Amino acid sequence: MKPDISTKYLGIELKSPIIVAPAGITETADRIALCAKYGAGAVVMKTMTDVELMRNSPTPRFRLLKKGKGLRNFVLYSYEQASLFNSDDYAAEIAKSRRETDIAIIASIACSTDESWQNTAKMMEDAGAHALEINLSCPHGPDMAVSMGIEKRMIDITELVTSAVNIPIVPKLPSQLTDPITVVKGIQKAGAKGVVIFNRLLGLDIDIEKQSPIMHGGFAGHGGYYSIHYPLRWIAELSPLLDIDISASGGVASGDDAVKYLLAGASTVQICTSVILNGYPVIEKINSQIIEYMEKHDLESISQFRGKVCNRILGLNDMDRRKSVRAEIDQEKCKSCGACFNACFYGAVTQDNGKYEVTSKCAGCGLCAEICDFDAISMLPLE
């Protein structure tokens, strides 16, 4: 029997755990229809804001940094501002999507006053949104990323919005929090039904010839497939502590990455950069890769493996710290490039006339085996 990848998120049945994350790729009903066509379980629409200035993005607004150095190593550096729609047009777009697609439509808002948070949330509910993300983490937002007491404000905003509407509210958090556990427990208590972990970070790149910021001249969001590890850690830590759903966001390039988030306890997995760079068909590919994983492991449903990694994470006192391996160079495969010699700061690799060998100083750290491009180094058990 083909594995079933359907899942429940915020009490809503989704046919896939893959949600297309808010960005230009989810701005209009036409683009949302493409997400549905290629098998997304739901869509979070591009964030709408009440700050008019932020509805207009500069050009160009995308730069790929460090590209050409491998699939997982690039940085997508971008300054795409909020949805170009005002609240009326955004609500109309929600209603249009509800008419034209059958997947869950999650709206996303970022507001500047208490009143506006509540009124805008109500408008989106009335327009037919199945749920609402409150974007408490936009790296280009007016005040969210900078003010003191921000963590308390996140909880207060959650409370304000949950008291104004009946649809599920999902705060989207930034990764730069002093204490994510307290914040997430706070928003849970304030009535949130889920949480998105995490948004991207705000960064800077500099043109050293012009001695100025690149592209639009300011700070910019940055992310890429390398960015999966931090949210993965926090999801694994938070999911056993929460009663609400976690939607993972950050660094998903493949079905295997999505499986990692599910193993860490996420209910759904959001994808953004993958769709921006590869187009909407990547959704279908990621769904089939999740199915392949489930077939390989004889899994019929996502609930059979969701959160399975959480109680396998070892703490400080639980790890096996004995030295159990050492490196050995296969002389047949070695190309005498010297990379292991340069990298071994334990001084355990020697070289003599182009011949590289590992000595008894080897600390078993594993670095040389990772660095060798010729697969010439194995880590062998110590007798």
Segment 313 to 332, residues that bind ligand SF4, using CB under 6 A = 327, 329
User: Of the candidates 179, 288, 374, 380, which one interacts with ligand SF4 according to CB under 6 A?
Assistant: 374
| Identity of the residue, 281 or 366, whose beta carbon is nearer to ligand SF4 in the bound complex | 366
Binding mask 108-137 for ligand FMN (x = CB under 6 A): x--------------------------x--
The answer to whether 87 and 111 have CB atoms below 8 angstroms apart is no
Helix ranges (H only) for 317-380 are 339-343, 367-371
For the CA atoms of 35, 40, 42, 43, the dihedral, rounded to the nearest 10 degrees, stands at -30
| Identity of the residue, 140 or 326, whose beta carbon is nearer to ligand SF4 in the bound complex | 326
Q: Give the contacts of 103 (CB within 8 A, at least 6 positions apart).
A: 14, 15, 32, 35, 36, 40, 41, 42, 43
CA–CA separation, 296 and 132 (whole Å): 36
Distances, alpha carbon 30 to alpha carbons 37, 89, 97, 98, 224, in Å = 11, 14, 8, 12, 26
User: For the CA atoms of the chain, what is the radius of gyration?
Assistant: 24
Residue 346 interacting with ligand SF4 (CB under 6 A):
yes
Pick what 338 binds: ligand SF4, ligand FMN, none; C-beta below 5 to 8 Å, kind-dependent.
Answer: ligand SF4
The neighbour count for residue 202, using CB atoms within 10 Å, is 20
Comparing CA positions, the residue from 3, 7, 25, 100 lying closest to residue 277 is: 25
CA–CA separation, 199 and 247 (whole Å): 11
Pick what 35 binds: ligand SF4, ligand FMN, none; C-beta below 5 to 8 Å, kind-dependent.
Answer: none
CA–CA separation, 61 and 382 (whole Å): 53
User: Of the candidates 272, 290, 329, 348, which one interacts with ligand FMN according to CB under 6 A?
Assistant: 272
| Identity of the residue, 274 or 299, whose beta carbon is nearer to ligand FMN in the bound complex | 274
Segment 184 to 243, residues that bind ligand FMN, using CB under 6 A = 199-200, 221, 223, 227
Stretch that binds ligand SF4, among 97-105, 139-147, 216-224, 363-371 (CB under 6 A): 363-371
Distance of CA 123 to the CA centre of its chain: 28
Residue 338 interacting with ligand SF4 (CB under 6 A):
yes
Residue 51 interacting with ligand SF4 (CB under 6 A):
no
| The two three-digit tokens of residue 308, written as one number | 């399975």
Stretch that binds ligand SF4, among 72-80, 126-134, 241-249, 372-380 (CB under 6 A): 372-380
Binding mask 7-46 for ligand FMN (x = CB under 6 A): --------------xxx----------------------x
| Identity of the residue, 315 or 381, whose beta carbon is nearer to ligand SF4 in the bound complex | 381
- Minimum CB separation from ligand FMN for residue 337, in Å? 34
Residue 251 interacting with ligand FMN (CB under 6 A):
yes
The neighbour count for residue 352, using CB atoms within 10 Å, is 7
User: Of the candidates 4, 277, 365, 378, which one interacts with ligand SF4 according to CB under 6 A?
Assistant: 365
* Amino acid at the residue 307: G
CA–CA separation, 137 and 154 (whole Å): 9
CA–CA separation, 107 and 85 (whole Å): 12
| Identity of the residue, 77 or 356, whose beta carbon is nearer to ligand FMN in the bound complex | 77
User: Of the candidates 12, 42, 76, 372, which one interacts with ligand FMN according to CB under 6 A?
Assistant: 76
DSSP string covering 143-178, please?
STTT-TTHHHHHHHHHHHHHHH-SS-EEEEE-S--S
- Minimum CB separation from ligand SF4 for residue 349, in Å? 5
- Minimum CB separation from ligand SF4 for residue 372, in Å? 3
- Minimum CB separation from ligand FMN for residue 48, in Å? 8
| The two three-digit tokens of residue 283, written as one number | 């959704």
* Binding-site ranges for ligand SF4 (CB under 6 A): 327, 329, 334-340, 344, 346, 348-349, 356, 358, 362-368, 372, 374, 376-377
* Binding-site ranges for ligand FMN (CB under 6 A): 21-23, 46-47, 76, 78, 80, 82, 108, 135, 138, 172, 199-200, 221, 223, 227, 249-252, 271-274
